[in-house]
Amino acid sequence: MSRSSMLRRLAPTLLLAVGLTACASDSPVEESPDTTAEQPTDDDAADDAGASGDSAAFPVTVTDDAGEVTLEARPEAIVSLSPTSTEMLFAIGAGDQVVAVDDFSNFPQEAPTTDLSGFTPNVEAILEFEPDLVVLSGDSNDVVAGLTEAGVPVLQYGAANDLETAFSQFRALGEATGNDAEATVNDIQKQLDDIAATTDVEPGLTYYHELSSDLFSATSSTFIGEIYGLFGMVNIADEADTDGGGYPQLSAEYVVEQDPDYVFLACTVFCGETAESFGEREAFAGLTAVEQGNVVELNDDTASRWGPRMVEFAEAVAAALQAG
């Protein structure tokens, strides 16, 4: 696979791999029940048990990128081969059910990272963990067929096209694992709204979001672009997205012509880019963003995973706009 093809497929995953803090720790804590309240009936207790993830709620059928998947029982040995799905699982309270994650799943710290690969998955290696659910981002090496033949349910969730798709993945994983994801989704949405509402910024500022040093970017149609859209920013990559894929490769001439007010570097770890190295590129020394010191270094993972740490991505953008 060429570097360009890999970046088109993996850009959102790689960018998000380095930095946001999970929202699980920020989720509202349920209040202790009022012991003086009327005690629930047996039927109410059964309903509550199902809502909290008890096996009574199963079987369940959820929708993934490939169709519908039915889980007969609450999974207790989940293998995640998607860094973003790993973060989602822990954020919604399914961390105790996760027995193994892939080598790029570096957050949260307690995630049981292994040498399993999400890019070149091996069925035999996965089955060694005796999973009753596998979550992955795509069907490489015919892994889905191999796991299905072994009787293991598989959920596929690729890069979210937008925030609503990201939230849908949260909800689906919650249903599939017997956990209520709605509180987590509501908390993330509220935090994003609050960040946007409390950031005083001039509307219409233009920006270039760099996924890689060979000028791949993300448009407003992506969840990445939606985060910037919360602040009323204008994405220079939109007009260059001729195929509508959301992740066009720009040219240096195009970036110079657009002359963005801000540049956000989302490959500072994987590519080693810095504000200084960006400004030293021959074509970019005269950009408005460079001259005004508005080249912003983002954490790769924080800026590219569509999970709970989207909040930290938004916080980083807000901080840069307030400082600019």
Kindly report, as residue ranges, where domains of CATH 3.40.50.1980 are found in the chain.
53-179, 201-323
CA–CA separation, 123 and 132 (whole Å): 13
Q: Please state which CATH class domain 53-179 belongs to.
A: alpha beta
CA 278 to CA 290: how far, in whole Å?
8
Q: CATH for 201-323, among 3.10.129.10, 3.40.50.170, 3.40.50.1980, 3.30.300.10?
A: 3.40.50.1980
Sign of the alpha-carbon dihedral angle for 254, 248, 210, 190: positive
169: amino acid identity, one letter: Q
Report which residue type is found at 106: N
pLDDT tens digits for range 80-134: 999 999 999 999 999 999 999 999 999 999 999 999 999 999 999 999 999 999 9
pLDDT tens per residue across span 118-175: 999 999 999 999 999 999 999 999 999 999 999 999 999 999 989 999 999 999 999 9
pTM tops 0.85, yes or no = no
Please provide the DSSP assignment of 66-119 as one string. Answer: TEEEEESS--SSEEE--HHHHHHHHHTT-GGGEEEE-TT---STTS-B-S--SS
- CA dist 262 and 295 (Å) reads 6
